[in-house]
Amino acid sequence: MNKFEKFLTDKLLPLSEKMQNNLVLGALSEGFIRTSPATIGSAFILIVANFPIPAWLELLQKTNLASSLGAVGNASIGIMGMLAVYNIAYAYGKRLHTNAQNSGLIALASYFILIPQQIVTHVEQNGKWVESAVNAVSFDYLGGQGIFIGMLVALLITKLYSILAARKFTIKLPDSVPPMVSESLAPTFIVTIIFLIVCGIRIAFSFTPFNDIFSFITEMISAPLNNLMANPLTMIFIQVLLCFLWFFGIHNAVLSGPLSAVTLTMITANIDAFTSGKTLPFAIAYMVYGVCGAAGNTMGLIINLMFAKSKRYKEMFKLGALPTVFNITEPLVFGLPIIMNPMYFFPMILSPLVSGLVSWGLMTTVLPITYNPTVENIPWTTPGFVKFALSGGWQFFLMYIITTAIVTLIWYPFVRVADKKELEIERNQTKQDVSV
């Protein structure tokens, strides 16, 4: 273990620092960290809104509190793509020594230009329900499904703004004009040029079968999954792919369509067979899928953070532990951050792969499980250990303990090295403060 940690310290940590010093990667890292107040602040409210007790959920519905509590999630995690656009553009603008505030605002406006701004709904006319287009923006594009496009927009628009500003495509106002007014009006020509380019991209995609760039990205990523069959190996592959994409800022929501088609088919078929007393066709496949976990099985990461020594990692444990227990991983993913952090690429990918293979092997050999698929209908915020115990008894609960222990060991050397580095930075900062 010491040799492996030395390898991480000598090889991977310098690479991570080098990548963080890169203008683009540094801006991405800072941008995602800047979104963490919204995700952390809403995580605890989301736990309350989705606390896995039927009587509590029923009470929230009867008192009309469910929609209000849900609005908190929509206003934070639900608009994560939008928050990322502004913060990444702002961080990148600072690094390019251009106006960071303008960079963020122009990138955010460009992002909205690309978003479909009509939603098809149904209205009643003359006793019949007919389709009607409403001018509105779907939360799908503002949240997880929009993060990847948002990253590209933030970086490309800010870079273009920087280039045009350096070439003096600005309005020169007299010195007597207040700086606030001058900075706001100076980039008028630049903004016009950028908006025309972005609008041209929107028009170009409107002539394609995809209609918009968001659908294009979704189809290109999800198409390879459409022909996959629901089997354990496929489920492991899907979870590894989700973690791979998540590392680069592509939220699981991008694959929600084809993935839901696969998982819902498995759940329905398993429940039908269970209620009919027949053999469950996808029992092992779906159990393996659940064991793999989300976002690199971050429960193992939380356990490691529990023993962190640096102040930063201790605080991340305090803020991220409870949400992670209830399957809300965004505070950790954005706050640590895991996204675009080379130090955490390998545990992010290895965790679902190893836990999936181990669980598959145990289920088919020494630890067979009698699976109750009807439990899959309980709220998504139900802690994993509770859900596993309800759906597969002590055997599935033991499986959870085993795989969590394995994942904890996978995360351990990477967290340990990163924590040591943070502790060193904090100690050096303390010495500098004392000397001053």
* pTM of this structure: 0.67
Rounded Cα–Cα distance for residues 342 and 16 (Å): 5
Cα–Cα separations (whole angstroms), residue 203 to 213, 226, 311: 10, 28, 49
Strands 128-135 and 118-125: antiparallel
pLDDT value for 296: 59
C-beta neighbour count of 34 within 10 angstroms = 17
Q: Is 71 inside a domain boundary?
A: no
pLDDT value for 202: 95
Residues 6+ apart with CB under 8 A from 275: 374
pLDDT value for 433: 63
Q: Is 46 inside a domain boundary?
A: no
Q: Is 375 inside a domain boundary?
A: yes
Rounded Cα–Cα distance for residues 4 and 9 (Å): 9
Please give the tally of structural domains in the chain. 1
Enclosing domain of residue 314: 1-23+228-435
pLDDT value for 227: 53
Residues in the chain predicted with pLDDT less than 70, given as ranges, are 1-21, 41, 52, 124, 144, 170-184, 186, 221-230, 251-262, 264-265, 294-296, 377, 433-436
pLDDT value for 409: 93
Rounded Cα–Cα distance for residues 226 and 210 (Å): 17
User: Which one, of 325, 326, 392, lies nearest residue 362 by Cα?
Assistant: 392
Mean pLDDT score of the chain:
81
pLDDT value for 231: 81
Q: Is 31 inside a domain boundary?
A: no
Question: By three-state DSSP, how is residue 118 classified?
Answer: strand
pLDDT value for 80: 81
Q: Is 136 inside a domain boundary?
A: no
pLDDT value for 397: 92
pLDDT value for 253: 60
| Residue reference for tokens 């690094």 | 95
Residue-wise pLDDT tens digits, 14-34? 666 666 667 887 788 788 778
DSSP bridge partners of 121: 132
Q: Is 251 inside a domain boundary?
A: yes
Please say whether the beta carbons of 142 and 82 come within 8 A. yes
User: Which one, of 309, 304, 302, 263, lies nearest residue 413 by Cα?
Assistant: 304
Cα–Cα separations (whole angstroms), residue 187 to 107, 156, 161: 13, 17, 9
Residue-wise pLDDT tens digits, 176-197? 666 666 666 767 888 899 999 9
Q: Is 84 inside a domain boundary?
A: no
pLDDT value for 425: 86
- Hey, what are 379's tokens? 């709220």
pLDDT value for 402: 92
Please say whether the beta carbons of 126 and 108 come within 8 A. no
Q: Is 220 inside a domain boundary?
A: no
Please say whether the beta carbons of 383 and 324 come within 8 A. no
Cα–Cα separations (whole angstroms), residue 116 to 69, 88, 141, 203, 255: 27, 22, 8, 11, 19
